[in-house]
Amino acid sequence: MSANVDFAEVQKFEDLASRWWDPTGEFKPLHKINPLRTDYINLHSPVTGLKVLDVGCGGGLVSEALASFGADVKGIDMGEAPLNVAKLHLLESGLEVDYERITAEELAKQTPETYDVITCLEMLEHVPKPASVIKACADMLKPDGTIYFSTINRNPKAWLLAVVGAEYVLNMLPKGTHEYDKFIKPSELQQYAFEAGIEFEDIIGLHFNPLTQRYWLAPGVDVNYMVRARKIKS
């Protein structure tokens, strides 16, 4: 396997895997934001009948949502327990997703220019070399395909809200879920993308009001943000 795996990060999600589909448990924030993310993706890239790759799929929240829209979905992750949970949940949902334990870099060697849509959501901040994952995703994207990233900005506000607030004050996430040094500024992500041969088409913020428990997408990328990108035309 590729060296671009932080097994301590993988273990965090292995330990929580059995509760992945509990909408009131540790993954409650992912359940809350999932419709926002997948509706945004399906709005800009209607996925019915398209080949979709979900990189860092975990327990399958995004994969299943996109499959429910009619996409032909493959989900990959390096966490064995989350993948087992994802596979078991298919028995409950009746959907079809092809799950595999493999890195993006390894899959890219096997499937160049294969996918119409690639999603890599809340994953880049958990690997040692995010640029390597971005390059692998770009290599697997069809020339006219679209890729979606989401991650967390690196600044004092992001540290205060995404780490201190979410993990220690509001207890929305398990303590230690995120490491501030691994957060990625939009300018850094844009540079990684450019070096991989893809360019931003849109960038939008994911916002949260702790008083109303409401999530929404809007301009402003101080903390959580999503990017839509395509291959640079030669």
Q: Is the pLDDT of residue 218 over 60?
A: yes
Average pLDDT over residues 194-198: 98
- At 28 the pLDDT is 87
pLDDT greater than 70 at residue 1? no
* pLDDT for 2 beyond 70: no
Three-class SS of the chain: CCCCCCHHHHHHHHHHHHHCCCCCCCCHHHHHHHHHHHHHHHHHCCCCCCEEEEECCCCCHHHHHHHHCCCEEEEEECCHHHHHHHHHHHHHHCCCEEEEECCHHHHHHHCCCCEEEEEEECCHHHCCCHHHHHHHHHHHEEEEEEEEEEEECCCHHHHHHHHHHHHHHCCCCCCCCCCHHHCCCHHHHHHHHHHHCEEEEEEEEEEEECCCCEEEEECCCCCEEEEEEEECCC
pLDDT above 90 as % of the chain:
76
**Where residue 165 falls among pLDDT bands split at 50, 70, 90?**
confident
pLDDT tens sequence across 70-126: 999 999 999 999 999 999 999 999 999 999 999 999 999 999 999 999 999 999 999
pTM: 0.93
| pLDDT tier for residue 175 given thresholds of 50, 70 and 90 | confident
- Could you give the domains of the chain? 7-231 (3.40.50.150)
Q: Is the pLDDT of residue 3 over 70?
A: no
